[in-house]
A and B are shown apart, each in its own frame.
Chain A
Amino acid sequence: MKARGSVFKYGDNVDTDVIIPARYLNIADPVELATHCMEDIDTEFVKNVKKGDIMVATKNFGCGSSREHAPQVIRDNGISCVIASSFARIFYRSSINIGLPIMESEAAANAISAGDEVEVDFDTGLITDITTGETFQAAAFPPFLQNIISAGGLLKSLKEREDNK
Chain B
Amino acid sequence: MAMTMTQKILASHAGLDSVTAGQLIEANLDLTLANDITGPVAIREMEKAGFDHVFDKNKIALVMDHFAPNKDIKSAEQCLTCRNFAGKHEVVNFFDVGQMGIEHALLPEQGLVGPGELIIGADSHTCTYGALGAFSTGVGSTDLAAGMATGKAWFRVPSAIKFNLTGSLPKYVSGKDVILHIIGKIGVDGALYRSMEFTGEGVASLSMDDRFTICNMAIEAGAKNGIFPVDDKTREYIKGRVNREVTEFAADADAVYDEEYTINLSELRPTVACPHLPENTKTVDELGKIEIQQSVIGSCTNGRIQDMRDAAAILKGRKVKKNVRTIVIPATQTIYLQCIEEGLAKIFVEAGAILSTPTCGPCLGGHMGILAHDEKAVSTTNRNFVGRMGHVSSEIYLANPAVAAASAVAGYIIDPAELED
Interface residue ranges, A against B (CB under 8 Å): 13, 15, 17-18, 21-23, 25-28, 40-41, 59-60, 63-69, 71-72, 86, 88-91, 93-94, 97-98, 142, 144-145, 153-156, 158-159, 162
Inter-chain CA distance A21–B385, complex, in Å, is 10
A80 to chain B, nearest CB (A): 20
A144→B24 contact, CB < 8 A? yes
**What residue in chain B is nearest A18 (Cβ atoms)?**
B386
- The interface residues of chain B lying within 8 Å CB-to-CB of A28 are 40, 74, 77-78, 81
* B50 CB–A CB distance under 8 Å: yes
A26→B123 contact, CB < 8 A? no
B residues 31-57 near A (Cβ < 8 Å) are 37-38, 40-41, 45-46, 48-51
**Given that A25-B37, A26-B71, A65-B124 are known contacts, is A88 also in contact with B149, CB under 8 Å in the complex?**
no
Interface-central residue, A26, A155, A156, by most chain B CB under 10 Å: A26
**Given that A13-B189, A68-B41 are known contacts, is A159 also in contact with B387, CB under 8 Å in the complex?**
no
* B351 CB–A CB distance under 8 Å: no
* B141 CB–A CB distance under 8 Å: yes
- The interface residues of chain B lying within 8 Å CB-to-CB of A144 are 24, 154
B139→A90 contact, CB < 8 A? yes
Inter-chain CA distance A63–B193, complex, in Å, is 12
Inter-chain CA distance A66–B138, complex, in Å, is 6
Inter-chain CA distance A142–B277, complex, in Å, is 32
B149 to chain A, nearest CB (A): 7
- The interface residues of chain B lying within 8 Å CB-to-CB of A22 are 37, 364-366, 388
Residue contacts A-B, CB under 8 angstroms, 6 given: A15-B383, A15-B386, A18-B385, A22-B37, A64-B385, A155-B142
Interface residue ranges, B against A (CB under 8 Å): 24, 37-38, 40-41, 45-46, 48-51, 66-67, 71-72, 74-75, 77-78, 81, 121-124, 126, 138-143, 145-146, 149-150, 154, 188-189, 192-193, 222, 224, 277, 364-366, 383, 385-388, 392
- The interface residues of chain A lying within 8 Å CB-to-CB of B41 are 68-69, 72
B37→A67 contact, CB < 8 A? yes
- The interface residues of chain A lying within 8 Å CB-to-CB of B141 are 68, 94
A94→B142 contact, CB < 8 A? yes
B188→A13 contact, CB < 8 A? yes
Interface-central residue, B71, B146, B366, by most chain A CB under 10 Å: B146
**What residue in chain B is nearest A90 (Cβ atoms)?**
B138
A60→B140 contact, CB < 8 A? no
Inter-chain CA distance A153–B142, complex, in Å, is 9
Q: Which of B48, B77, B81, B387 contacts A21 (CB 8 A)?
A: B387
**What residue in chain B is nearest A94 (Cβ atoms)?**
B140
- The interface residues of chain A lying within 8 Å CB-to-CB of B81 are 28
**What residue in chain B is nearest A60 (Cβ atoms)?**
B189
**What residue in chain A is nearest B45 (Cβ atoms)?**
A155
Inter-chain CA distance A21–B365, complex, in Å, is 8
- The interface residues of chain B lying within 8 Å CB-to-CB of A66 are 38, 121-124, 126, 138-140
A154→B366 contact, CB < 8 A? no
B247 to chain A, nearest CB (A): 25
**What residue in chain A is nearest B24 (Cβ atoms)?**
A144
**What residue in chain B is nearest A21 (Cβ atoms)?**
B387
Inter-chain CA distance A28–B41, complex, in Å, is 8
- List the 5 shortest-distance A-B pairs measured between CB atoms, nearest first: A94-B140, A155-B49, A26-B74, A68-B140, A22-B364
**What residue in chain A is nearest B81 (Cβ atoms)?**
A28
B124→A59 contact, CB < 8 A? no
Q: Which of B50, B75, B149, B364 contacts A65 (CB 8 A)?
A: B364
A17→B146 contact, CB < 8 A? no
B385→A17 contact, CB < 8 A? yes
Inter-chain CA distance A41–B387, complex, in Å, is 9
B73 to chain A, nearest CB (A): 9
**What residue in chain A is nearest B76 (Cβ atoms)?**
A26
Q: Which of A63, A153, A159 contacts B222 (CB 8 A)?
A: A63
**What residue in chain B is nearest A97 (Cβ atoms)?**
B142
B382 to chain A, nearest CB (A): 9
- The interface residues of chain A lying within 8 Å CB-to-CB of B385 are 15, 17-18, 64
Inter-chain CA distance A22–B385, complex, in Å, is 11
**What residue in chain A is nearest B382 (Cβ atoms)?**
A64
**Given that A26-B74, A142-B24 are known contacts, is A68 also in contact with B142, CB under 8 Å in the complex?**
yes
Q: Which of A18, A25, A142, A155 contacts B51 (CB 8 A)?
A: A155
Inter-chain CA distance A156–B388, complex, in Å, is 34
- The interface residues of chain A lying within 8 Å CB-to-CB of B138 are 66, 90
Beyond A67-B140, A68-B41, A86-B189, 6 extra complex contacts between A and B, CB < 8 Å? A26-B78, A28-B74, A64-B383, A66-B121, A89-B192, A159-B50
